[in-house]
Amino acid sequence: MARYEINGGNPLVGTVTISGAKNAAVAILPAALLVSGKCRVENVPDISDVRILLDILEGMGVRLSYPEPHVVELDSTGVQCTMPNPELVKKMRASYYLMGALLGRFGHAHVALPGGCNFASRPIDQHIKGFLALGADVDETEEYIALKPSEEGLHGARISLDMASVGATVNIMVAATLLPGQTIIENAAKEPHIVDLANFLNTMGARITGAGTDTVKIRGVNSLRGGTYAIIPDQIEAGTYMAAVTATGGNILVQNVIPKHMECITTKLQEMGAKVIVFDDSIRVMRSGPLRQTTVKTRPYPGFPTDMQAQACVCMALARGTSRLTESVYETRFFGYCTELENMGANIRIDGKTALVQGVEQLHGSTVYAHDLRAGAALVIAGLSAKGTTTVEDIHYVERGYEDLIGKLTALGADIRRLEE
């Protein structure tokens, strides 16, 4: 198995360019199944989740071409398959977005239950609630979900989500795009990639309003045409590099970002002692003095992202005083990576949904294991800031969501390499 070997202690200095957003890409690419003709998607991140998803789509009959790096052209005209390869589907969580796309285009879907990171119980009950409201019959087993029209047929509906689920908002939005009538999603998720998906669909001819608010309205259309669309920059990748320089010290320019999306992260890093200068499409982050304690509670956007929780914890582990980190989205997300950080010398106590992090002078190198994508990124940050050598195992989790992590960190002065057994 591949692993990362990190010799810590170097401050990060230089410029890093952020790739396209993973969470947007894995929603937009399945939505291309709705398009009649060819669509061109730009700024596509080269990460394993996207590669798996493209393999799934190609296996279903989507014609793919790659005219240049980070650009994919998709032609779904000839697709007839409504049961994507279950072995590939099980490799990634976001493959459940195929359900909404297939239901919207064909009225039927048979999709294996997805895989991906297992850091918490993440049921899809809100997705199913949405499909039922749209007029689908749902057959759910431990292995798959099958969707077909009910006797009354598929149609628009008013759907009030019990929680602001990103996945359910995506699936309902995509499924409703080609259905007759109007669909209204209340208590919708407001994350940037929800807005990006709506913008993609609207570029192709959909009629969606309210994305980015808690009420999204979809007026069904007969068809979508082809077009060109560029995916937004990755908020979490940018935040990860910002957290990394906050932990190690140094001075980096984070390019290709939307600063508005970063405000929830920027504010907390500034509280901890980082200096941040915001430009039109880049952010400079510097840290030379000691880190200060802070309090963070994860929340849906525009709150502090749950996907930045683990990275923030590393910064807290190196800060003076006791920091408080509360997880309100996925309650068991602390388990696993906190133990790994403790093996590196961190002082963390878990109390229900809250981690109390007593800062230490320095972390030390160790062999640690990534338990999920963002936890793996946090362990890389810990290794960069630690004294000695850190080995991060199970890095396939990390490579699900970070493009060219080794190359980007090396360019910033990190001593990190990828080793194959």
Q: Is the pLDDT of residue 349 over 50?
A: yes
pLDDT of 195-212, one tens digit each? 999 999 999 999 999 999
| Residues noted as catalytic | 117
d(C-alpha 338, C-alpha 389), whole Å: 19
d(C-alpha 103, C-alpha 127), whole Å: 12
Count the Cβ atoms, other than its own, within 10 Å of residue 375. Answer: 29
Q: How confident is the model at residue 421 (pLDDT cuts 50, 70, 90)?
A: confident
Q: Is the pLDDT of residue 326 over 90?
A: yes
Which residue type, as a one-letter code, is found at position 48? Answer: S
d(C-alpha 187, C-alpha 219), whole Å: 18
As a 3-state breakdown, the chain gives helix, strand, coil percent values, each rounded to 5, of 35, 30, 40
Burial class (CB in 10 A: 0-12, 13-18, 19+), 394: middle
d(C-alpha 413, C-alpha 377), whole Å: 17
Q: How confident is the model at residue 122 (pLDDT cuts 50, 70, 90)?
A: low
Q: Is the pLDDT of residue 334 over 90?
A: no
pLDDT of 286-303, one tens digit each? 999 999 999 999 999 999
Q: How confident is the model at residue 114 (pLDDT cuts 50, 70, 90)?
A: confident
d(C-alpha 80, C-alpha 52), whole Å: 20
Q: What is the CA radius of gyration of the chain?
A: 21
Q: How confident is the model at residue 376 (pLDDT cuts 50, 70, 90)?
A: very high
* List of domains in the chain: 3-18+234-419 (3.65.10.10), 22-230 (3.65.10.10)
Asked if residue 42 lies in contact with residue 71, where contact means CB atoms within 8 angstroms, the answer is: yes
Per-residue model confidence (pLDDT) at position 120: 47
CA-wise closest residue to 257 among 284, 228, 296: 284
* Residue 49 phi, psi (nearest 5): -60, -40
d(C-alpha 395, C-alpha 417), whole Å: 12
pLDDT of 33-84, one tens digit each? 999 999 999 999 999 999 999 999 999 999 999 999 999 999 999 999 999 9
CA-wise closest residue to 311 among 360, 263, 253, 370: 370
